[in-house]
């Protein structure tokens, strides 16, 4: 279904904040190596089930080199793909996982209230990197 070199960001497609973050990633990525898939898609449901992941819609999942990262680990891994200064936020990955996941959970719990009023519309080239079968 996917090749090991694919980098896929799985996000809650029904969440305005999550969609805003996808737009932010598209605007700030170093190269065009990332793909995106809403958790609600058949593609995501099938692939994550094959990986033994029970989907939690408030959790961010990131697939890189055939490995799934979630929550703050996924966030820190994804930061490698962004331009400076955002990539520099990886310095916080040295904090204990229970602490970084607690911050992640705090934001995820409130994500529906953090919706940005703007919608991001990907360009036709960017749209080709969205996976939703």
DSSP states along 61-119? EEEETTEEEEHHHHHHHHHTTBPTTGGGGGGGGGS-HHHHHHHHHHHHHTGGGG--SPP
Q: Does residue 1 belong to any structural domain of this protein?
A: no
The domain in which residue 73 lies consists of 7-125
Q: Provide the whole-model pTM.
A: 0.85
| pLDDT surpassing 90 at residue 7 | yes
In a domain, 23, yes or no: yes
What's the pLDDT at 2? 46
Predicted local distance difference test score (pLDDT) of residue 122: 72
> Does 50 reside within a domain?
yes
Any idea which residue has 């009023």 for tokens?
Answer: 117
Cβ contact 88:43 at 8 Å? no
Q: Is 133 domain-assigned?
A: no
* Domain assignment present for 88: yes
Res 37 pLDDT > 50: yes
Instruction: Domain count for the chain, please give it.
Output: 1
Give residue 1's pLDDT.
Answer: 45
- Confidence band (pLDDT; 50, 70, 90) for 116? low
Question: Residue 124: in which H helix or E strand, if any?
Answer: helix 124-127
Mean per-residue pLDDT, 7-32: 88
Cis peptide leading into residue 127 (ω within 30°): no
């Amino acid at each position: 279904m996917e090749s090991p070199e694919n980098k896929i960001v799985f996000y809650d497609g029904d969440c305005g904040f999550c969609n805003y973050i996808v737009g932010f990633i598209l605007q700030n990525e170093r190269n065009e190596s990332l793909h995106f898939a809403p958790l609600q898609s058949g593609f995501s449901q099938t692939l994550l089930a094959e990986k033994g992941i029970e989907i939690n819609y408030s959790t961010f999942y990131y697939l890189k080199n055939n490995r799934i990262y979630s929550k703050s680990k996924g966030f820190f891994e994804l930061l490698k793909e962004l331009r400076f200064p955002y990539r520099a936020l990886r310095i916080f990955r040295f904090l204990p996982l229970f602490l970084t996941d607690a911050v992640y959970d705090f934001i995820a719990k409130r994500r529906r209230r953090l919706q940005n009023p703007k919608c991001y519309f990907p360009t036709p080239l960017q749209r080709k990197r969205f996976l939703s079968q």
